[in-house]
Amino acid sequence: MTGLTGMTTARAVLRLAGEEARDFLQDLVTNDVSRARGDTAVWAALLTPQGKYLSDFFVIEDGRDPDVPALLVDAPLAHGGELAKRLALYRLRRKIEITAAGLDAALLWGDAPPQTPPQTPAGALLVRDPRDPALGWRLYAPDPAAALAATGAAPAPEGAYDALRIAVRAPEAGAELGPDSYILEAGFERLHGVDFRKGCYVGQEIVARMKHKTELRRRLMRVAVTGEPPAPGAEIVTESGRVAGQLGIVSGGEGLAMLRVDRASGPLTAGEARLAVIEDPDP
């Protein structure tokens, strides 16, 4: 036994090939993709010009063909088609080939960080999840189930990964992230998903203004949940019936919620479930 737990996950993994691929992404996304080297991945987001969320993804150096510089973009499965179209639109005359990578992902984590990385199976790529050490590693292979089995990781119990990301307040598309999301409210700074020194990118002015000139009105918080929770996206209301936010994923009696800071105290409900904010160590 390796002391690791793992699971496969369906993702859209794109390949951006060409000498200009890295500079191209650098001009578009919230993080510094120059740091995506070797087994170091970068988590970033693509935003609208108004600073709202379009997609988040991991950027990984693809060294499988030493003669062709390339990056992998590991995005939510539901975002794959639209993201590829949007990247092609931004590409203009740059010599970059955007294709499906022919890979899918598996997730591996251990009991407590820092863990020893597993042996990378032949033909696979392994990178540490850059958001939080507790989230372990991401493994990419044409057959991620076989690659995962080769690491010796034990199959993850149902809901285990949800509980893991609730513990570190890591949002995901379709649950806590959507078209009305702002990345700083969702914790991207705390989770190393934005770089304030890298220069311009789409939506950068709004993100910088929220960072330096405003106080965040909403924040992704961890909540204790009692009773049967509704599906992610359900409205959370205060005792007086005022809307306080939206509920995200719930697992094992805890969940994530995007809440207005001024309405997060006191009794909260979402459907038939009762919620209470769990004090977080940092914002």
Q: Which of 152, 21, 42 is nearest to 95 (CA)?
A: 21
pLDDT digits (tens, 9 = 90+) for 22-49: 999 999 999 999 999 999 999 999 999 9
* Model pLDDT, residue 111: 73
Token pair recorded at residue 84: 């590829």
| Separation CA 142–CA 61 (nearest Å) | 16
pLDDT digits (tens, 9 = 90+) for 91-116: 988 999 999 999 999 999 987 666 77
Tell me: cis bond preceding 114? Omega within 30 of 0 counts: yes
Instruction: Give the domains, in start order, of the chain with CATH numbers.
Output: 4-167 (3.30.1360.120), 217-283 (2.40.30.110)
Q: Place 280 in a pLDDT band, splitting at 50, 70 and 90.
A: low
Q: Is the pLDDT of residue 1 over 50?
A: no
Angle ∠(226,156,154) on CA atoms, nearest 5: 150
Helix (H) / strand (E) element for 82: namely helix 80-91
14 touches 130 (CB < 8 A): no
> What integer best gives the mean pLDDT of the chain?
94
* Model pLDDT, residue 116: 77
* Model pLDDT, residue 119: 86
pLDDT digits (tens, 9 = 90+) for 49-63: 999 999 999 999 999
φ/ψ of residue 80, rounded to 5: -55, -50
pLDDT digits (tens, 9 = 90+) for 147-205: 999 999 999 999 999 999 999 999 999 999 999 999 999 999 999 999 999 989 999 99
Mean pLDDT of 69-76: 98
Q: Place 283 in a pLDDT band, splitting at 50, 70 and 90.
A: low
Strand order of the β-sheet with 97-100 is 42-47, 53-61, 70-76, 11-17, 97-100
- Dihedral sign computed on CA atoms, order 115, 116, 117, 121: negative
Token pair recorded at residue 275: 């919620």
| Separation CA 80–CA 15 (nearest Å) | 11
SS3 call for 47: strand
Helix (H) / strand (E) element for 53: namely strand 53-61
Phi-psi region of 226 (alpha: psi -120 to 50; beta: other; left: phi over 0): beta
* Model pLDDT, residue 165: 96
Q: Which of 151, 78, 69, 65 is nearest to 108 (CA)?
A: 151
Angle ∠(131,251,267) on CA atoms, nearest 5: 100
- Of the two residues 111 and 135, the one the predictor is more confident about is 135
Token pair recorded at residue 3: 């002391």
